[in-house]
Amino acid sequence: MPFDILLKNARIVDGTGSPWYRADLAIRHDSIVRIAFNIIEPARRTIDVGGQVVAPGFIDIHSHARRGIFDVPTADNYIRMGVTTVIEGPDGSSPVPLAPFLARLDSLKKSINIGAFIGQGSVRSAVMGDVDRKATPDEIARMRTLVEQGMKDGAFGLSSGLFYVPGTFTPTEEVIELAKVAGRFGGIYISHMRDEAKGVVASVKETIRIGEEGGLPTQITHHKVVGPGYWGQSVETLRLVEEARARGVDATIDQYPYTASATSIAAALLPAWALEGTNAAIQARLKDPATRAKIKTESVQILKLERGGGDAKNVVIAHCAFDPTLDGRSLADITTLHGMEPTLDNAAESAMWIVEKGGCQGIFHAISEDDLVRILRYPGTMIATDGEIPIFGKSNPHPRSYGTFARVLGVYVREKHAITLEDAVRKMTSYPAQRLGLADRGVLRPGMKADVVVFDPATVRDKATFENPHQYAEGFSTVIVNGHVAFERGAMSAARPGVVLYGPAKQR
């Protein structure tokens, strides 16, 4: 029986981190069936890749793909930078229950593989709302049941976003109780930590503790140090991770390669206590002069030392539903538009005005390149986007959604030599696969699922910028998902070969 696809003349970067080698790769149905120096048997389709790199499809362990997957099921932004699998439900936020969402994804004809975490914040919200108090034993029992159901539905583990409401109201001990449930079903814990600025070191300790006492692998997601007041603390955070690993705690990291983060203006620039409860409660606090003054004082500090990076120009609007003409404008611009000098004091007023108007998504330039590279070089760090599936040309998303994986290959491998090509590919493939327990993906080897990317290491690059984010990555010539070509010669194919991937408690 002939092969379905034969890739000839490849530089195989197999995902393990081993040096590349020259070989051909043969695919039949949805699997890799042979890799050898010179395959001469017939194939229905032969593609001479002419010495380009052939690597496993990239796996994004932190994706907000449910923003967009049902609008753009081809996930062009992801596929065109080599990503063949995305894992949803990060930052403590997932559908609860998970089963109907996964069923809907299963019936969707899509180009990309997708799986999910169950979110601690969403579980807490479902049981007790967004309130700032400890859970009762009965509420904890109900939350444990929801996490157990999530794991049985196919989650890869428990995600948290302890920075956000309601994660920020959650005591560590409560997270540990839920982490134990995820661990019992073979899942991992992955956390957007409580504080990535002033409290980054304490937050790393908390993340390690949750893994240690919860009895499961633990991951610091999109690890960064936010705010010029705290730059350099990645030396200490990496030391803590290394120390935990030395005593047997399975602690790991993922990261995106940008010196700006993205989240809502409210979560980033207002204190968490101001965001408790319903929108009406939030608005009432902003109307009360004394409370407003207190919010403003804290917001000025956040602008100065944390997400504001010390200057209102460092905060840029990604998307404002109430006024899309603000997309792409900085908080300094908006302050000026309101007839005020763009001081931090006045910028805090603009931030509160934005929250009063219904809120916007923002981009925050407040990360140092030194911390970024230090974290990237750490062997226990994998690559993840924290991105979504944008509608092409709409709003002003963080460029990570279009560029993350290509940027690591173009900027940090080719231009800066921060890591090797083989190590970069390992961080994008076998490492996240191993973390998720995906035993049949992430490495090029006969018997593995045929998620395969072909790219030119001399030209691969991200094109998306903060000013002009809607630009696809370049340098990928062919992307194969489950043995079917999803992308080639600059265009998406008609195939929709993506499948839903299920976690350890429900693996097919």
Q: Residue 139: which H helix or E strand, with range?
A: helix 137-153
DSSP per-residue string spanning 293-320: HHHHHHHHHHHHHSTTTTSGGGEEEEEE
* Residue 92 vs 497, nearer CB to Zn ion: 92
* Residue 94 vs 478, nearer CB to Zn ion: 94
- Can residue 388 be called a binding residue for Zn ion (CB under 5 A)? no
Q: Which stretch binds Zn ion (CB under 5 A): 97-105, 137-145, 186-194, 356-364?
A: 186-194
Size of the site for Zn ion (CB under 5 A): 2
Residues 6+ apart with CB under 8 A from 40: none
Smallest distance, Zn ion to C-beta of residue 289, A: 33
Q: Which stretch binds Zn ion (CB under 5 A): 191-199, 232-240, 392-400, 481-489?
A: 191-199
Closest by Cα among 405, 313, 292 to 362: 313
* Residue 69 vs 505, nearer CB to Zn ion: 69
* Residue 91 vs 153, nearer CB to Zn ion: 91
* Residue 23 vs 260, nearer CB to Zn ion: 260
Smallest distance, Zn ion to C-beta of residue 104, A: 23
Place of tokens 């929250």: 355
- Can residue 14 be called a binding residue for Zn ion (CB under 5 A)? no
Q: Verify cis geometry, omega within 30 degrees of 0, for the bond prior to 73.
A: no
Smallest distance, Zn ion to C-beta of residue 21, A: 37
| Position among 64, 66, 144, 192 found at the interface with Zn ion (CB under 5 A) | 192
Q: How far is CA 237 from CA 65, 203, 206, 220, 419, in A?
A: 29, 9, 11, 10, 20
Closest by Cα among 262, 234, 200 to 381: 234
* Residue 91 vs 422, nearer CB to Zn ion: 91
Smallest distance, Zn ion to C-beta of residue 263, A: 7
CB 167 within 8 A of CB 124: yes
- Can residue 91 be called a binding residue for Zn ion (CB under 5 A)? yes
Smallest distance, Zn ion to C-beta of residue 193, A: 9
* Residue 192 vs 449, nearer CB to Zn ion: 192
Smallest distance, Zn ion to C-beta of residue 441, A: 24
Assigned token pair, 269: 């620039």
Give the span between the Cα atoms of 295 and 456, in whole angstroms.
50
* Residue 223 vs 463, nearer CB to Zn ion: 223
HSE (CB half, 13 Å, CA atoms) of 441? 30
Smallest distance, Zn ion to C-beta of residue 192, A: 3
Q: Which stretch binds Zn ion (CB under 5 A): 190-198, 245-253, 267-275, 441-449?
A: 190-198
Give the span between the Cα atoms of 476 and 488, in whole angstroms.
8
Smallest distance, Zn ion to C-beta of residue 344, A: 25
- Can residue 88 be called a binding residue for Zn ion (CB under 5 A)? no
Smallest distance, Zn ion to C-beta of residue 163, A: 7
- Can residue 307 be called a binding residue for Zn ion (CB under 5 A)? no
* Residue 14 vs 388, nearer CB to Zn ion: 388
Give the span between the Cα atoms of 455 and 428, in whole angstroms.
14
* Residue 192 vs 398, nearer CB to Zn ion: 192
* Residue 254 vs 276, nearer CB to Zn ion: 254
Q: How far is CA 505 from CA 213, 293, 502, in A?
A: 21, 49, 8
Q: How far is CA 169 from CA 59, 165, 198, 287, 372, in A?
A: 31, 7, 18, 23, 29
In the bound state, the residue with its beta carbon closest to Zn ion is 192
Q: Which stretch binds Zn ion (CB under 5 A): 129-137, 192-200, 249-257, 348-356?
A: 192-200
Smallest distance, Zn ion to C-beta of residue 161, A: 6
Smallest distance, Zn ion to C-beta of residue 268, A: 11
Q: Which stretch binds Zn ion (CB under 5 A): 187-195, 246-254, 270-278, 319-327?
A: 187-195
Residues 6+ apart with CB under 8 A from 294: none
Give the span between the Cα atoms of 298 and 348, in whole angstroms.
9
Instruction: Tell me what percent of the chain is helix, strand and coil, each rounded to the nearest 5.
Output: 35, 25, 40
**Crossing angle of helices 137-153 and 172-184, rounded to 10°:** 30
Closest by Cα among 132, 276, 337 to 286: 276
- Can residue 400 be called a binding residue for Zn ion (CB under 5 A)? no
Could you list the residues that contact Zn ion (CB under 5 A)? 91, 192
